[in-house]
Chains A and B, each alone.
Chain A
Amino acid sequence: MTPSSPSLLAADSLAPPPPYEEPPRPVPDARSGAAASEEPVNGVAFGVATLDKDALCGSCREHRCCYSFTVELTVDDVGRIASALGLSPEVFVAYHEVETTERSFLLHPAGPRYRLMVESHPTLQLSQEESTGEDATEASDPAPAAEPQRACTFLLRLPGGEHRCGLGSIRPAICDLFPVSRQGGLLQLYEGPGCVRSWSLHELDYARELARAEAYAAVLARHEAFLQDWNGRVCAGKGDAAYPFDFFLDALINWYVDERERSAAE
């Protein structure tokens, strides 16, 4: 915060400002802040408070994960962001070559396979000071990406040093879920470089995270269905020329809109 007027600066220096208090976090619903019972039963204090995951992430000022990871997008994410912000998908969608057939698409029957990602910012990187913060002293933790860590294109750096997602509630589903993921029906937490926090499932609202993870699995299934359809089109292609990526994105938006119509009709 830079005071704009010198006179105010002078006035402020007369009396030291009182310490800033963190804003109280409103409790949106019963999921956080359940009161602990007075007496432990069976060795456990029931009703231990869970924490708001997003508020915890709010305490990570530079939003480290927005630099550490490339964010995978689904049909739902692209359609939602494009329609909500009135954006052409080309503006924010990138594609990276991958080895796996999982969630990947072709542009040519014999060509490489690609995966959809959020575009990264051309210039924004964690500064040297930021990227060698406390956890970087653990020398055994190499950065997950060998390349310089470029920010997500939607990351905003506010003047006071807080970094925030410019998408708010319409951010990609995988960002909503992080650091939780689901494997073999079990929830697990990300452990490793790229996040400054050590997470514990005890802190989080298990039922809520499970519901989120299951919703994400459904999103991925829809995404796979589209990619299968698309890859079938490519493999049945008449010409030898590769499909342009723009055409892929148009097909994606078509699929997204049709899918919405279908689900609205049901």
Chain B
Amino acid sequence: MAETRDWLFSNCTACPSIICCYTYNVNILGWDAYRIARRRHLPYRAFLGYVEQEEPDSTSFRLQVDGPPYMLTLLKRAAGARPEGWPCAWLLDLPGDVHRCGLYEERPLVCRIYPGALYEGVAQFRRETVCPWPVYDIGKIDLRRWKGALLDNRVEKDIYEAVLAIWNARVFAADDRPHSLDELFRFLLNVYHRTEAFRPTSPAQWRRVRSEWSRLLDVQGSPLLLAPNDPAEAALRDESHAALWRLAAGIRQTLRELAP
């Protein structure tokens, strides 16, 4: 099972602080929530919460028209706080003051890529993180897998933005009624459930789709936002892009059905 070990593990397990699991509100994506709920057999409300944002961004959601923007997060545990904050609800406290993530393979993408980011297609370590610097050494990690996670994150974030855009439109269309968090959960669950069938079935196919999706984001924008009859869309129908086209078209169709 050593091959499934996380590529950052030699660095993270050596970190004595696990400060990241306390400091951050883990802003997870719709696909993360869906995977965790499915693999751990949990309702969304058992592990998801939200925090109010000062400034809305592309992954903000609203619950009423004039209400504040929120972001979806993993819940925190209401005990054992440190000066940096409350611990993540999934943080395992093992004997001997050893800590590990209790989500393991289902860890959110944002945790998988931490503390990295893609800058113009180049995987780098973010310098502004709370990591006790220098924990990371780019020469010591499996860059191929790490870059893969960065691409996963880029694509899933793009999908999540489109999904939340429809959610927010629904909230704005029903301007006389505040929405509950459970309604958002139901919406997310339905969307990801319905579109799962359009996802690539093999890891190799998914790797191709995420690379191509990321390339499109660089050159002409999200495949989810192309107008019908856009020449770029015709290019997407090209044989070699069949899997990407299938996923993008499936998501767009589902979201069209759910748009207000």
Contacts and interface: CB of A to CB of B under 8 A. Distances in A.
Interface of A: 1-5, 7-8, 11-12, 14-15, 17-18, 20-26, 54-55, 57-59, 79-80, 83-88, 90-92, 119, 122, 153-154, 156, 158-162, 164-170, 260
Contacts of A3: 181
Given A4-B52, A17-B183, A91-B94, A58 B39 contact: no
- Secondary structure class of chain B's binding surface, majority of residues: mixed
29 contacts: A1-B48, A1-B49, A2-B49, A4-B50, A11-B63, A14-B178, A15-B177, A18-B180, A20-B45, A20-B186, A23-B37, A23-B189, A26-B196, A58-B41, A84-B1, A86-B5, A91-B96, A119-B95, A159-B78, A159-B89, A160-B75, A162-B43, A162-B46, A164-B102, A166-B103, A166-B104, A168-B39, A169-B104, A170-B1
Nearest to B39: A168
Nearest to B100: A85
**Residue in B44, B95, B106, B177 whose Cβ sees the most chain A Cβ within 10 Å:** B95
B77 interface: yes
Given A15-B177, A26-B193, A122 B95 contact: yes
Interface string B1-13: 1101100011011
Contacts of A26: 38, 193, 196
**5 tightest CB-CB pairs across the interface, nearest first?**
A58-B41, A166-B102, A17-B180, A86-B13, A11-B178
Q: What is the interface of chain A mostly: helix, strand, loop, or mixed? A: loop
A81 to B, nearest CB: 8
A86 B9 contact: yes
B95 A91 contact: yes
Given A12-B180, A92-B95, A158-B75, A83 B43 contact: no
B218 interface: no
A44 B218 CA distance: 59
Nearest to A83: B2
Given A8-B67, A156-B90, A156-B102, A23 B46 contact: no
A260 B104 CA distance: 22
A169 B183 CA distance: 30
A76 to B, nearest CB: 9
A1 B98 contact: no
A1 B45 contact: yes
Nearest to A161: B46
B100 A87 contact: yes
Contacts of A18: 180, 182-183
B42 interface: yes
Interface in B183-223: 183, 185-186, 189, 193, 196
B92 interface: yes
Given A7-B68, A57-B41, A92 B94 contact: yes
Given A1-B45, A7-B68, A168 B5 contact: no
Contacts of A8: 63, 67-68
B68 A164 contact: no
Contacts, number: 151
A158 B189 CA distance: 20
A26 B95 CA distance: 36
B9 to A, nearest CB: 5
A216 B177 CA distance: 54
A15 B177 CA distance: 8
Contact of A158 (B46, B64, B92, B100): B46
Contacts of A158: 42, 46-47, 75, 89-90
Nearest to A81: B1
B62 to A, nearest CB: 10
A25 B102 CA distance: 22
Contacts of A20: 43, 45, 182, 185-186
Nearest to A10: B178
A85 B186 CA distance: 33
B180 A85 contact: no
A265 B39 CA distance: 32
B105 interface: yes
A51 B128 CA distance: 48
B51 interface: yes
Contact of A84 (B4, B42, B46): B4
Nearest to A160: B46
A73 to B, nearest CB: 14
Contacts of B12: 86
A168 B104 CA distance: 7
Contacts of A164: 40, 42, 102
A167 B107 CA distance: 12
B51 to A, nearest CB: 6
A154 B100 CA distance: 10
Contacts of B178: 11-12, 14-15
B179 to A, nearest CB: 9
